[in-house]
Amino acid sequence: MPHEHLTHPSAADLAARIPRGFLIGTATASAQIEGAIREGRRTPSVWDRFAEQPGRILDGSTTAVTADHFHRHAEDVALMSRLGADAYRFSLGWTRLQPTGSGPLDPEGVAFYDRLLDELHAAGVSPFATISHWDLPEEYAHGWLDRDTAARLGDFAALVGERFGDRVDAWITINEPATVTLNGYALGLHAPGHSLLFDALPTVHHQLLGHGLAVQALRAAAVRGAIGISNAHTPVMPASATEEDAVMAMLFDIVHNRVFADPVLIGRYPEVPAELADLFGSLADVPADDLAIIAEPIDFYGLNYYMPSVIAAGAGTGDSPDGMSDAMAELPFRLEPLEGHETTGFGWPIAPEHFETVLGQLRERYGDALPPVFITESGASFDDEVADDGTVADPRRTDYVARHLDAALRAVAPGGQAFGVDLRGFFVWSLLDNWEWAAGFTQRFGLVHVDFADGTRTPKESFGFLAEVNRIRAEA
């Protein structure tokens, strides 16, 4: 679909509608930007090992350097200051801080994050730290299939909470457990590369149990920051009015959204229609004590929104939003395109109107059990290039950010689909072009262009737009 008609709210309009105290920030993940895997005692993670396998990463790249944030973090914090960002969401590299996957924190890893936190505070940028953002230590051979990994996350949370708890303003225990389960264990697209389909469901429970144990550990460490979790939610629509499509859309909603949110927010797994019950056997009779841990009270819920999903009954070609998967073709449903919408570089439909849908679903499903919400990720990949004059024009990302921020603000305003949801902030994914997991360097999400050959940073047009939003609201 052509994109000649990019119309979005102006910077002044958005700035005027952002509530006082609402945070505008950016987000990254350690495995995607830090590099420096041979410095200090940083050991390989499951993603490093996955990247070594031929054909796993689209362009054959690795995490060795990525955006070289390890060496250029001061420059990157200066960019956040120039952007006027209120907050920065980053992740703590598990294998940099705990190289063997157990034992005390490594002094060199601690020193790196000490420097980063000090720089953020000096720049007036609020640190949001994610404890587990996909890069498990390789020592955890069975990953999230092993219940013991949940206990390891709790132990790691205790260590980082004690060490950094006085300087982190918000903690996210685990990022997008839905994506980890679906892409890493069910479809074989992400590390560790298993294609277990519904036999991957034990990883749901173990990740959520790890979240609960991490919450307990952070509380015990008396951290001063708020505590929450981030998950990717997608509003799901049947491809047609047939009963078959409706049932499969319900199934996808359960496995992508409900099994991850319900236990955290209301202390139980969702009820499953009888015709689908056999698929969810591993979640049917979990210990009540586990559910109590998973439902430990949290201070906020992190919502990552990228796209809606259109679901039809029947097997497909194996195409998924994140690449081709033979396992995907074995499922009883398939993803269909969202007609009439442009797509990102990944082929994801651009549908900011469904931001309102998903926020409304959170309000409807969880009511008073829903704590304050942060949009912890929203962004898009496009093919951005540096022009001869040294600028990077990315009008489609500017349009994406403006319309999605607008949609989120409209959703929670009086008369909006999610009126009553306490929305506290919006984090753009991502600050920097990065190593985009199995897509390698082929997808650019950054507000800042990164030359992956020499690390040069070039703020894009979208960076300038968001900086203008922040400047206007700061002067109001």
Q: 225-239: per-residue pLDDT in tens?
A: 999 999 999 999 999
Phi, psi of 431, rounded to the nearest 5 degrees: -60, -50
The catalytic residue among 138, 176, 296, 356 is: 176
Please give the pLDDT value at position 450. Answer: 98
Note whether residue 328 is domain-resident.
no
Note whether residue 138 is domain-resident.
yes
Q: For 33-46, what is each residue's pLDDT tens digit?
A: 999 987 878 899 99
Mean pLDDT of 154-172: 98
Mean pLDDT of 79-105: 96
Note whether residue 115 is domain-resident.
yes
Q: Is the pLDDT of residue 147 over 70?
A: yes
Name every residue whose Cβ is closer than 8 Å to that of residue 277 and which is 6 or more positions away in sequence. 284
CB neighbours (10 Å) of residue 243? 10
Note whether residue 105 is domain-resident.
yes
CA angle, 263 as apex, 259 and 268 as ends, to 5°? 100
Please give the pLDDT value at position 323. Answer: 86
Please give the pLDDT value at position 7. Answer: 83
Q: For 66-89, what is each residue's pLDDT tens digit?
A: 999 999 999 999 999 999 999 999
| b (16+ CB within 10 A) / e for 122-144 | ebebbbbbbbbbbbbbbbbeebb
* Strand 333-336 to 373-378 pairing: unpaired
Give residue 153's domain range.
11-233+253-306+340-475
CATH code, 83: 3.20.20.80
Phi, psi of 320, rounded to the nearest 5 degrees: -130, 170
Decide if 85 contacts 26 (C-beta within 8 A): yes
Please give the pLDDT value at position 1. Answer: 39
E strand residue ranges, 333-474: 333-336, 373-378, 423-429, 448-450, 457-459
Mean pLDDT, the chain, rounded, equals 96
Percent of the chain with pLDDT over 70: 99
The catalytic residue among 119, 296, 377, 436 is: 377
Q: For 309-338, what is each residue's pLDDT tens digit?
A: 999 999 988 888 888 899 999 999 999 999
Higher-scoring residue by pLDDT: 7, 179:
179
Q: Is the pLDDT of residue 2 over 50?
A: no
Q: For 240-290, what is each residue's pLDDT tens digit?
A: 999 999 999 999 999 999 999 999 999 999 999 999 999 999 999 999 999
Cα 268 to Cα 266: distance, rounded to the nearest angstrom: 6
Note whether residue 3 is domain-resident.
no
Structure tokens, 396? 């489609």
Note whether residue 52 is domain-resident.
yes
Q: For 7-24, what is each residue's pLDDT tens digit?
A: 899 999 999 999 999 999
Give the confidence band of 197 by pLDDT, cuts at 50, 70, 90: very high
Please give the pLDDT value at position 41. Answer: 81
Percent of the chain with pLDDT over 90: 94
Decide if 350 contacts 338 (C-beta within 8 A): no
Q: For 407-460, what is each residue's pLDDT tens digit?
A: 999 999 999 999 999 999 999 999 999 999 999 999 999 999 999 999 999 999
Name every residue whose Cβ is closer than 8 Å to that of residue 88 and which is 6 or more positions away in sequence. 25, 26, 27, 28, 77, 80, 120, 125, 126, 127, 128, 431
176 counts as catalytic:
yes
Start-to-end CA span in the chain (Å) = 38
**Structural domains of the chain, count:** 1
Structure tokens, 49? 């090992």
Note whether residue 331 is domain-resident.
no
Distance of CA 43 to CAs 46, 64, 98, 235, 266, Å? Answer: 10, 11, 9, 38, 38
Please give the pLDDT value at position 141. Answer: 80
34 counts as catalytic:
no
Cα 239 to Cα 200: distance, rounded to the nearest angstrom: 26
Note whether residue 174 is domain-resident.
yes
Please give the pLDDT value at position 3. Answer: 45
Mean pLDDT of 140-157: 96
